Amino acid sequence: MKRTLLVILLPVFILSGCWDSIEIQNLAIITAAAIDSEENHKVKVSVQIFIPRTITSGESGEDPSLGSTFVREGIGKNLAEAISVLQTNIPRKLFWGQCKIFIFGQDLAKTGIRKELDFLIRHPAPRINSNLYVSEGKASNLLKLIPPLERYSGEVLSKFSQHQEVGVDTTLSDISKDLTEASQSFSLPYIKRLKSDEYARKSYETIPTIVGTAIFKKDKMIGNIDLEETRGLLWLSRKIQKSTVSIKPEENENEVIMMPTSGSVRFKPQIINNQWIMNIQIQVAASIIQNETFLSLLQEDVITKLEKGLENKLRDRISKTLEKIQKEYQADVVGFGRRFHQKYPEQWKKVKDHWDEKFPEVDVKLSVNATIKRSGDIGGPAALPEEEVIEN
Partner 1 sequence: MIETGRINKSQVSFIMLPTIIATAILSIPSIDAKFAGHDMWMTPIIGSLNGFLTVFIVWKLHKLYPNQTPIQYFEKIIGKYAGKLMGLIFVLFYIQVSGIIIREYTDFLKTEVMPQTPGIVLAISLLFTAALAVRGGLEVIARTAVICTTLYMSTLSVLLLLIKDIDLSYLLPFMENGFIPVLKGAFVHQSWFSEFFLLAFLLPFLKNQNGSLKAGIKTVFLVMVDLIIVNFFILTILGMTAANKFYPVYSIIKSISFLGFFQNFEIAVTASWVLGSFVKITVFLYAASIALAQLFRLNNYQIIVYPLSLVILHFSYWDIPRFATLTNFIYKVLPFYLVTFQTIIPLLLLIIALLRKRWGENFS
Tell me the C-alpha distance between 287 and 264, whole Å: 16
Tell me the C-alpha distance between 232 and 212, whole Å: 11
Interaction between residue 7 and partner 1 (CB under 8 A):
no
Query: Count of residues binding partner 1 (CB under 8 A)?
Result: 26
Cβ proximity to partner 1, 16 vs 273, nearer residue: 16
Interaction between residue 17 and partner 1 (CB under 8 A):
yes
Helix (H) / strand (E) element for 260: namely: strand 256-272
Cβ proximity to partner 1, 182 vs 297, nearer residue: 182
Interaction between residue 12 and partner 1 (CB under 8 A):
yes
CA-nearest of 239, 120, 101 to 176 is: 120
What's the CA angle centered on 322, arms 316 and 323, to 5 degrees?
85
At closest approach, how far in Å is the CB of 202 from partner 1? Answer: 31
At closest approach, how far in Å is the CB of 178 from partner 1? Answer: 9
Pairing of strands 42-50, 275-291: unpaired
Q: Which stretch binds partner 1 (CB under 8 A): 10-18, 62-70, 147-155, 204-212?
A: 10-18
Q: Angle, to 10 degrees, between the axis of helix 172-180 and the axis of helix 114-122?
A: 120
Cβ proximity to partner 1, 123 vs 373, nearer residue: 123
Interaction between residue 180 and partner 1 (CB under 8 A):
yes
At closest approach, how far in Å is the CB of 7 from partner 1? Answer: 14
Q: Which stretch binds partner 1 (CB under 8 A): 35-43, 82-90, 223-231, 338-346?
A: 338-346
> Which of 176, 246, 270, 299 contacts partner 1 by CB under 8 A?
176
Cβ proximity to partner 1, 16 vs 56, nearer residue: 16
Interaction between residue 177 and partner 1 (CB under 8 A):
yes
**For residues 69-128, which are near partner 1 according to CB under 8 A?**
97, 124, 127-128
Say if CB 155 and CB 131 are below 8 A apart.
no
Tell me the C-alpha distance between 262 and 242, whole Å: 9
At closest approach, how far in Å is the CB of 334 from partner 1? Answer: 13
Sequence-distant (6+) residues with CB within 8 A of 120 are 102, 126, 130, 172
Interaction between residue 151 and partner 1 (CB under 8 A):
no
Phi, psi of 360 (to 5 degrees): -65, -20
Q: Which stretch binds partner 1 (CB under 8 A): 13-21, 227-235, 300-308, 353-361?
A: 13-21
Interaction between residue 19 and partner 1 (CB under 8 A):
yes
Interaction between residue 339 and partner 1 (CB under 8 A):
yes
Say if CB 383 and CB 338 are below 8 A apart.
no
Across 116-253, the runs of DSSP E, i.e. the strands, are 131-135, 185-193, 208-217, 220-226, 245-247
**For residues 357-386, which are near partner 1 according to CB under 8 A?**
none
Distances (CA, A) of 335 to 105, 118, 270, 282: 25, 22, 15, 16
Tell me the C-alpha distance between 245 and 372, whole Å: 12
Q: Which stretch binds partner 1 (CB under 8 A): 49-57, 71-79, 172-180, 210-218?
A: 172-180
Q: Which residues bind partner 1 (CB under 8 A)?
A: 9, 12-13, 15-20, 97, 124, 127-129, 173, 176-177, 180-181, 338-339, 341-343, 345, 348
